[in-house]
Structure formats: structure tokens, C-alpha cells
Amino acid sequence: MNPLRLAFSAAALASLATALVPAYAQETIKIGEINSYKAQPAFLDPYKKGMDLAVEEINAAGGVNGKKIEVISRDDNANPGDAVRVAEELVSREKVAMLAGTFLSNTGLAVADYAKQNKVFFLAGEPLTDKITWEGGNAYTFRLRPGTYMQAAMLVPEAVKLKKKRWAVVYPNYEYGQSAVAAFKTLMKQAQPDVEFVAEQATPLGKIDAGSVVQALADAKPDAIFNVLFAADLSKFVREGNTRGLFKDTAVVSVLTGEPEYMDPLKDEAPNGWIVTGYPWYGITTPAHQAFMKAYQAKYNDYPRLGSVVGYSMIKSAAAGIAKAGSTDTDKLVTAFKGLPVDTPFGKIMYRPEDHQSTMGAFVGRSKNEGGKGVMVDYVYLDGADPKYQPTAAEIKKSRAAD
């Protein structure tokens, strides 16, 4: 072969290879997912299983707009700086169509700010701070789970029924805990003006000194306690409180405690009679949940946790938004998500146009130690679409004035 023909052939092959790479890449829609896998495995291992199940179902049904979806995950080490770093890596290097995930509220806010600054779509699955969707919310960020205000609004009516005046609060001292306590105090004072908050214990996340916390609460002699601790901090708090008799004559209202991720590890130390939000997977008989649970158990030979529902519903939401947009263009995704309906294991939800918050609700009931295992009883599902669990439209508009 002469040199001219050789050069032409090499150029042709190079052009063909260049043409083929984008064509192959276009077969997959990449979702960049960020989370604190090493720091919060109790919630995030089931969450990842829920995501994987959703991806499998979506792709088996033909994908989205004729393309398969792929989730590319990164661990943020429970650190806002690392969360931003991996977000940039996913966007610039992996060329993802959107960002999703995060667990801790501080990492969620960091990624939300990155999304705002770089005009990248971000679907926050789990972070509960109200700043994600209200004060500090932005045009590019949407949130799946009901936030701290919503969950507090669901618990306050039950708290008021206790007719307790002297309250103590205990919470992890970072954005989520601070936000949850602020919402509970505000709503309780509105519903029961004579309420007093007589003690406050703000503990370092993951580093609770349970003995001193329980003693400080006992010394304050509250009538009731509002607890926001979760994971290992919750287990230590419950164990120490049981040992010292803190809960014997003191009512407890507790966010998240009814979730199996946090209830199951308590085993025979699980408390009785706490008013909690959670996930009684064993008793939900709706067709949507039964279908999800059957598929989940068939794939993993295990029961779902709340994280499973969140991961599954987040990917289903992403797929529904991309399908409605007919594109992965950021501005088209933002438009598509406003008012977007999504089928989830908890039934149909919608992403509210005014604040980008989904209407996913929560189960509220009481904890019970049943045969050495914690469960939820007397529970009811409260729909996040109910306006009594949301601020008014005027309040939302004011809080998002900079959006």
C-alpha cells in the first residue's frame, strides 16, 4: 500500500472511531449520584438497592426516550467539600445529565449551591433541611423526601394531644437537627402557646456522649422530649435512657425513629409508646407498595427499608422527568419537574411548582417493643399534598425571593 493510501485509510479509521464514540455514549443517560455511603450505611445500603431495582425495571421496559439509564455513584465522605468535588467530577468528566442523591443536609446544601452556580439539575433524595426547598432554595434543585417542617407539622398534632407543657429537645448539632428543632418549636408554640422548652441538648453528629446528655435531660425534669437523633447516636441515647429510667414517665416524640434502619438495631431495647415517623413496611397493603415489596424481596431476599423506597422513588422520578422533558437539557428538566407526577411505593406524588418539594408523605404512629423487636403500631400515612403540612404559598414565595 502506498503512503498516500495508508494515510487516507488511517484518517478514515480515526474519523469512524470518533463518530462511533458519541453514538455509543448517546445510548445511555447518565445520572450522577452522590452520597455518604461509608458514613451512613444503615440507610444507604438499602437505598442503593432501591436505586438498582428502579434502574433494572426502567431499562427492562425500554429505558427512557429509547435510551438506557445508568447511575454513576460517588461517596462524599459525609463532607460538603468532597460533595462539591465529586459533583464537579461527575459533571465535567462523566458528563452526567443530572445530579441526584445526598443524605446529610449539609452535603445536600453544598451540592444544591453547586447546582445553582453551575446551572446543573439536582434531585435531592434525602437531605431534610428546609433550606433545600424554601429559604435558600434555587431554580435547579428539587427534593423528594418530606423535609423537617413537613415532618414536624405531622408530629405536632399528636404532641399537642399529650398536653405536656415542659419540653426538652435533643438533636445532632448540624443543619438537619437545627432545622428540625426550629420547625418543631415554631409549630408547637403556634398550636400550644403555653409550651415551654426547658432543656436543649445539641450533640456532635456521630459522637454523642449519651450519659451526659441523658443526665442533663433528666436534671431538667421535662414532661416530654422531642428527639431528632438517628443511627448510632439514637441507639446510644435509647440504651442510656433506658438504663437511667429517663423514658419511664416522660413522653417522647421522635423524628425518623420508626424507620427500620434505626428501629431494627435497637432490638429488645426498642422503646414503647414513642410518637414517631417511620416506615411500617410489614403492614402497608396498598397495591403500589405490595408490587414494590414483591419485586424488592424477589431481587434481594430481604425486606425493604425506608432508604429502599427513597432510592427507588428518586430514580423513578428522574426517569419520569427526563421522559416528560424529552431531553436531558437542564432548562427543559427544570420545566418538566414543575408539577411532575410520579408513581411511587407510597402512591402518586407530585413535585410542587412553587417550591420544588415533592408531596411524598410520611407514616406517623407509635413505637412498640414486640417480641424483642421494635415496630410501628397505630400508624397512619399523612399525605404531603395536604396544605396543613406546608407553609402558605405567600411564605414560600417570600422565602424563595432570590430564586
pLDDT per position as a tens digit, 349-396: 999 999 999 999 999 999 999 989 999 999 999 999 999 998 877 888
Q: In terms of domains, do 293 and 279 share one?
A: no
Residue 153 domain-assigned (yes or no): yes
- The tens digit of pLDDT for each residue in 78-104 reads 999 999 999 999 999 999 999 999 999
Q: In terms of domains, do 130 and 165 share one?
A: no
In this predicted structure, what is the pLDDT of residue 395? Answer: 81
Q: In terms of domains, do 73 and 109 share one?
A: yes
> What are the CA-CA distances from residue 358 to residues 1, 143, 279, 285, 352 (Å)?
65, 6, 18, 22, 6
Bigger pLDDT: 325 or 137? 325
Percent of the chain with pLDDT strictly greater than 70: 93
Average pLDDT of the residues in 288-306: 98
| 3-class DSSP state of 341 | strand
pLDDT over 80 (residue 55): yes
Domain span holding position 166: 149-283+363-388
pLDDT over 90 (residue 5): no
pLDDT over 60 (residue 8): no
Q: In terms of domains, do 75 and 167 share one?
A: no
Beta-bridge partner residues of 344:
347
Average pLDDT, the chain: 92
Residue 49 domain-assigned (yes or no): yes
Q: Residue 244 belongs to a domain with what CATH number? A: 3.40.50.2300
In this predicted structure, what is the pLDDT of residue 311? Answer: 98
Q: In terms of domains, do 194 and 248 share one?
A: yes
Average pLDDT of the residues in 114-138: 94
Cell digits for 354?
A: 412553587
Residue 72 domain-assigned (yes or no): yes
Using the Cα atoms of residue 42, residue 47, residue 52 and residue 54 in order, give the sign of their dihedral: positive
Alpha-carbon span 395 to 46, nearest angstrom:
35
* Sheet hosting strand 28-35, strand order edge to edge: 68-75, 28-35, 98-101, 122-124, 141-143
Instruction: Provide the terminal-to-terminal Cα distance of the chain, rounded to the nearest Å.
Output: 64
Q: In terms of domains, do 268 and 160 share one?
A: yes
Residue 41 domain-assigned (yes or no): yes
Q: In terms of domains, do 237 and 382 share one?
A: yes
Residue 7 domain-assigned (yes or no): no
Domain count, the chain: 2
